[in-house]
Amino acid sequence: MDKFVVRGGNPLLGTIKVSGAKNSALPCMAAAILTEDEVILENIPQVRDIETERKLLASMGAEVELGYGRAQHRTRIKCGILSDPVAKYEIVKTMRASSLVLGPLIARTGMARVAMPGGCAIGGRPIDLHIKGLEAMGAEITYDHGYLEARSPNDGKGRLKGAHILFDKITVTGTEDLLMAAVLAEGETIFENCAREPEVTDLAALLIAMGAKIEGAGSSTIRVHGVTSLHGTRHRINPDRIEAGTFLIAGAISGGDLNVDSCDPAHLGALIAKLEGCGVRLDVGKDCIRVRSGDSPLKAADISTEEYPGFPTDMQAQYMALATQMEGTSVVSENIFENRFMHVGELNRMGANISVQGRTATVRGKSPLQSAAVMCSDLRASASLVLAALVADGETILDRVYHIDRGYERIEEKLRGVGAQIRRMGDVFGRK
């Protein structure tokens, strides 16, 4: 199992480039199921979740070429015949976003068989809202040996039907999954209380380019007029706002002068406002942000995670690493997932002073951090440990970095390019 070895203390200097958004790329790849034509996606990040999605689509009979036409970040997908519309447990268990194929599979083939995702480290993460929405559109759902089987009306021969769907709770992949089901449904579908994340808007832009009729993506009400077929297209994935945010914090925590390039500052509003409030100096350009700190101490500030455009839960762990370096007490409230504080124990082992009560963590700063052997537990928790290691005294060893490889493209190479001392090791303890 790969590890990172990080020696802290170097301020990050120079320009670091942001990749395409994993969380946009995943639904956009699933959207290719909706047409038998070729869909070309640009700016696809080279991360493990994308390789998992490639395997998933290929296992159903799709042609998927990552790095198409010798362009590393271009992907070609052609779902000519989907001979096996099944998302197998072996794949779903490693990537919960596999449930995103449910809506497009039923819409295109009339049937889908998808392994039920279990809980994961950050919480139970049910998909009941996806299922409820599909049922409202006329799908018949049955369960069998851990699999969910869905059929469109008339035993899979008819089309899904437009419906009025009010989400009880805002769900990002739920909105995306049902949007993909609705574009080929008969009649109009109105969704209320939708997720407004930029990844939903990105997916809608792709679907519209494929011939779908969608209004209101990016707002809480989305209207879809179903069409009978979609065609191929070419689409460029948005920059990854979470990777960009992680780099902003890397610049701030290391006391550097870092230019975070190829990002979309419009998607980072809540984080930018919070960092500026703490005393981080940011120069926001059209597609880049320069981050500087180090002159004066950072001031503690509370955060409360919310759906977009609020403070993203996917930035909570990274912010907490920075909060350990602020003067004063920051209260961090996690409102989206019930168990998203697994980085706390590891940050405390590095010398942080963080206490957790329910969904609230209290960070008392500023704490000098020390290197330690730490364990990555999920994607964003791992990022927070890398950030802490950048300022820790000595050499931190991060175990299980496969979590970080799920969603960050060669993060160690990018950080090394701006002066961090970080290297990947096959297995520093010589274990298998």
Instruction: Point out which residues bind ligand UD1 (CB under 6 A).
Output: 23, 26, 97, 123-130, 169, 171-174, 195, 199, 313-314, 336-337
Residue 307 C-beta: closest distance to ligand UD1, Å:
7
Tell me how far CA of residue 410 lies from CA of 21, 264, 401, 403, in angstroms.
14, 20, 11, 12
* 8-state DSSP, 65: E
Report the nearest approach of ligand UD1 to the CB of residue 103 (Å): 12
Strand 395-399 with 373-375, pairing: parallel
Smaller CB distance to ligand UD1: residue 82 or 129?
Answer: 129
Cβ atoms 94, 135 nearer than 8 A: no
- Smallest gap from Cβ 203 to ligand UD1, in A, equals 10
Q: Which among 354, 351, 402 has a CA at the least distance from the CA of 378?
A: 402
Burial class of 162 by CB neighbour count within 10 A (0 to 12, 13 to 18, 19+): buried
What is the token pair recorded at 302? 């509370």
Residues sharing a CB contact under 8 Å with residue 55, sequence separation 6 or more, in sequence order: 91
Give 100 or 422: the residue with its C-beta nearer to ligand UD1.
100
Nearer to ligand UD1, 159 or 241 (CB): 241
Cα 172 to chain center, whole Å?
A: 10
Nearest-approach distance from CB 432 to ligand UD1, in angstroms? 31
Smallest distance from ligand UD1 to CB 129, Å:
3
Question: In the complex with ligand UD1, which residue's Cβ is closer, 130 or 161?
Answer: 130
- Distance from C-alpha of 226 to C-alpha of 178, rounded to nearest angstrom: 12
Name residue, tokens 């929405």.
133
Residue 279 corresponds to which tokens in the numbers above? 């005393």
Beta-bridge partner residues of 64: 77
Specify the pairing of strand 373-375 against strand 421-425: unpaired
Rounded to a whole number of angstroms, the minimum distance from the CB of residue 191 to ligand UD1 is: 14
> Can you tell me which residue has the tokens 């809980």?
119
Residue 263 contacts residue 292 (beta carbons within 8 Å): no
Nearest to 50 by CA among 38, 32, 34, 36: 32
* Shortest distance (Å) from residue 311 CB to ligand UD1: 11
Between the alpha carbon of residue 184 and those of residues 104, 340, 350, 355, the distances in Å are 9, 36, 52, 49
The two three-digit tokens of residue 86, written as one number: 């099944």
User: Length of the chain in residues, anyone?
Assistant: 432
Give the single-character DSSP code of 408.
S
**Cβ closest to ligand UD1, residue 195 vs residue 372:** 195
Residues 6+ away with beta carbon under 8 Å from 383 = 246, 317, 318, 404, 408, 411
Q: Least distance in Å: CB of 123 to ligand UD1?
A: 6
In the complex, what is the shortest distance from the CB of residue 334 to ligand UD1, in angstroms, rounded to a whole number? 10
Nearer to ligand UD1, 333 or 370 (CB): 333
Instruction: Give whichever of 12 and 332 is closer to ligand UD1, judged by the CB atom.
Output: 332
Q: Which helix (H) or strand (E) holds 55?
A: helix 48-59
Q: Which positions are annotated as active-site residues?
A: 120
- Cβ proximity to ligand UD1: between 148 and 258 the closer is 148
Structure tokens at 229: 């077929």
* Radius of gyration, alpha carbons of the chain: 22
Smaller CB separation from ligand UD1, 183 or 336: 336
